[in-house]
Amino acid sequence: MDEVSDYSHAVDIIKAAVEQSRYRALHAGNAEMLSLYYGIGKYVSENTRNGAWGTDAIKQISVRLQKELPGMRGFSESNIKNMRQFYEEWAPYVNRQPVAGDLDWKEFLSIGFSHHMEIIAKVKDVDARIFYIHECANRAWDKYTLRDYIKSGLHQGADSLPNNFNTALTDTKFAIKATQAFKDNYLLDFINIENLGESDEDIDERVIENQIVNNIKDFILRFGTDFIFIGNQHRIEIAGEEMFIDLLFFNREINSLVAVELKTGKFKATYLGQLNTYLSILDDTVRKPHENPSVGIILCKDMNRSFVDYVIRDYDKPLGVATYKTSKEMSDDLLKALPPVTELKKLLDDTKDDDLQ
């Protein structure tokens, strides 16, 4: 069979697959389309990588398909090459679970081909690809939002505190900045519970709060350099009811009020409802017109991250949950490894001086 005949045969095979897929696609939707593209990619890969077809085979096949399938988009030369790449990148994992172990095939089949190609083109690590597939499937990102998050390196910050910023904040860039502004764990080495003469059971939030307020400069150095302390037990009022926020900050980088609620025990779902209410009142009565929505952080001793991820997703205000350790809980090696707060302050001051030069 000569080369031209080979291409005609290839066109017939792909055309038949497309036509057979049309009816099923009406019922199976995106999964059927991905299956079709994967199959075409496999067929093209097997014939182009072994030299069975000439160098211009994909171009010729594309031209023929577009003539014989009028109105059917997606069969440009570049897109057929994308199908081939889609197959080649995922073929090693189709018949077995990836080493990462948590690729959900339902999620995989729920996002569009353009999303897959965006991830393949810009993300090389399989764990990172699985991360973005999961986020796309659960956050309903469009291609451009996905692109922004990949560019920001969101995957590198995947170990940041559990939060709902992606869904609660409509501005993608703001959501990225908010995610990057907080960590999942803070080492508050200036807090020494043993020196307070109280047992763990008797320590309440106010004790920790007072230690933080008394060492507020040290706390901000640990928490982040763009925070401005507004006050503790900050009073807010709505409909004749008054409430008090444990710690209220303003973050210059994200241009937002940040309400921090301190909890000495393990995270509880009820904490989020309380903080969500605080943020609503802050936004309605305190926030300036030029400021971004207020952000809330629960700072607690312990949490079940999977549980936090589950309960936090239904709230409409931007919320996050972080944990902290005090000096009592840190090993001697860790305490020695931590730079003294005085050195952190000097480093910060030196950095500011360099910026001014």
Per-residue pLDDT reduced to its tens digit, 69-100: 888 788 999 999 999 999 999 998 886 655 44
Beta partners for residue 261, in sequence order: 298
121 contacts: CB under 8 Å, gap ≥ 6: none
* Residue 311 or residue 224, greater confidence: 311
Number of Cα atoms under 13 Å in the Cβ half of residue 274: 17
Structure tokens at 7: 């291409």
Per-residue pLDDT reduced to its tens digit, 22-69: 655 544 678 888 999 999 999 999 999 988 898 899 999 999 999 988
**Torsion 217-223-229-234 (CA) sign:** negative
Per-residue pLDDT reduced to its tens digit, 318-331: 999 999 887 665 54
The rounded distance, in Å, linking the Cα atoms of 298 and 260 is 6
When pLDDT is cut at 50, 70 and 90, the band that residue 207 belongs to is confident
Structurally, what CATH architecture does the domain formed by 180-356 represent? 3-Layer(aba) Sandwich (3.40)
The rounded distance, in Å, linking the Cα atoms of 259 and 295 is 6
Report whether 169 contacts 175 (CB < 8 A): yes
The rounded distance, in Å, linking the Cα atoms of 112 and 116 is 6
When pLDDT is cut at 50, 70 and 90, the band that residue 349 belongs to is low
* Residue 190 or residue 316, greater confidence: 316
The rounded distance, in Å, linking the Cα atoms of 193 and 207 is 9
Q: Where are the beta strands (DSSP E) in the chain?
A: 185-188, 227-238, 241-251, 256-262, 295-300, 319-326
Report whether 212 contacts 191 (CB < 8 A): yes
What local confidence, expressed as pLDDT, does residue 356 receive? 45
**Residue 196 pLDDT exceeds 50:** no
Report whether 104 contacts 137 (CB < 8 A): yes
What local confidence, expressed as pLDDT, does residue 184 receive? 85
The rounded distance, in Å, linking the Cα atoms of 132 and 110 is 13
* Residue 172 or residue 242, greater confidence: 242
Structure tokens at 312: 């936090």
Report whether 168 contacts 139 (CB < 8 A): no
Percentage above 90 pLDDT, the chain: 43
Domain boundaries, the chain: 3-158, 180-356
What local confidence, expressed as pLDDT, does residue 28 receive? 61
